[in-house]
Chain A
């Protein structure tokens, strides 16, 4: 069973889906037809992408009458931030090793 990071990365690996997510993150609460107007794909495709984003817990929805509003869950980006900070940890480790090399060069 995929973990949270797998779900987030897989969901955002699709460019159309990522554009929908970024639009929600930027513009906040939107309805499907507002998203469809800019997504460049049909409304059923937008709905399909929204379902995938919901499964990845990147998007939440609320109903208001007959309309469904979607918004981004900012906290769900944590795995992406972890990926970047992973590089930070990588360089931290490497510079520690560099320090050891510099010590050995003295001898």
Chain B
């Protein structure tokens, strides 16, 4: 029998960009640029103050992600908390220079089986959000 080990999991997504780390860093930390690829926001590129990422509300989700910067190491590492729908997680962006530009690694940690609301959120909110996202992405093509 396999061990399900649903206690803590993380998501890791990596991508290479033909752009230098300083430029990728700008896109990760400039409010108007963040809005163009992630969400509307009142991002503060310093540790401490809370900020929010905001989407249009969907049924059973107000569209708000509560965040707080935990690590700022310019052009290298950016980490902030990601709280929504009961999920209490941390998203870490790690930039590594390459010959062709930048390797970006995004890791979201903290998918825990003891987060009641996350289960509920996954049930009621997240799936509709994903459906909406697919629609948005399809509309771009």
Residues of chain B touching chain A, judged by Cβ–Cβ distance below 8 Å, are: 1-4, 6, 9, 11-13, 15, 17, 19, 23-24, 26-28, 33, 36-38, 104, 106, 108, 111, 113-114, 116, 119-120, 122-123, 126-127, 130, 133, 137, 140
Please state if A102 and B11 are interface contacts (CB–CB under 8 Å). Answer: no
Please report A residues at the B interface, Cβ cutoff 8 Å.
Answer: 5-6, 9-10, 12-13, 15, 18, 22, 25-26, 28, 72, 74, 77, 80, 83-102, 104-105
Report the separation of the CA atoms of residues A87 and B17 in the bound assembly, to the nearest whole angstrom: 21
Residues of A within 8 A of B17 (CB): 98-99, 102
A88 vs B3: C-alpha distance when bound (angstroms): 22
Q: Is the CB of B37 within 8 A of A100?
A: yes
B122 to chain A, nearest CB (A): 4
Closest to A5 in B: B123
